[in-house]
């Protein structure tokens, strides 16, 4: 079982959905430039992430340069080709993507949503 992580960043590139094999397995890759706490713009980190199967369409809602939060699983596989040294492959499999622009303005984007706090539940002037 892989562990879940999250990170945020700017979308650097979005690949096309690609089908592999005869069983209909699909994969879509995208790259983000990591932003947020602890990141140094002088030494940017870029992460290649992938969406698989039904999740490939998630990136249709985003454009290059959008800031997103990505929830992903880290997984790895060993491959032992005949007569060659063993290799290890790692992948960051995204399963949820959220817009950072909408995250901060969620309540204010809802028509009729009042951001003032509700009045106190305690009322000294009881009618009976």
Tens digit of each residue's pLDDT (9 = 90 or more) over 48-75:
999 999 999 999 999 999 999 999 999 9
At residue 61, φ and ψ (nearest 5 deg) are -85, 0
For residue 47, what are the β-bridge partners?
Answer: 32
What lies within 8 Å, CB to CB, of 115 at 6+ separation is 107, 108
Contact call for residues 70 and 9 (beta carbons, < 8 A)? yes
pLDDT tens string 14-44: 999 999 988 889 999 999 999 989 999 899 9
| Sequence ranges of the domains in the chain | 4-104
For the question of whether the overall pTM of this predicted structure is more than 0.85, the answer is no
- Domain at 4-104, CATH class: mainly beta
Pairwise CA distance, residues 32 & 47, whole Å? 5
């Amino acid at each position: 079982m892989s562990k879940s992580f999250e990170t945020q960043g700017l979308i650097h590139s979005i690949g096309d959905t690609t089908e592999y094999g005869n069983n209909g397995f699909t994969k879509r890759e995208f790259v983000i430039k990591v932003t947020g706490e602890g990141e140094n713009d002088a030494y940017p980190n870029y992460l290649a992430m992938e969406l698989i199967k039904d999740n490939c369409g998630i990136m249709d809602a985003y454009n290059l340069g959008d800031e997103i939060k990505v929830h992903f699983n880290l997984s790895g596989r060993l491959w032992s080709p005949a007569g060659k040294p063993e290799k290890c492959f790692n992948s960051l499999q995204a399963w949820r993507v959220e817009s950072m622009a909408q995250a901060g303005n969620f309540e204010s984007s809802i028509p009729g949503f009042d951001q003032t706090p509700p009045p106190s539940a305690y009322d000294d002037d009881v009618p009976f």
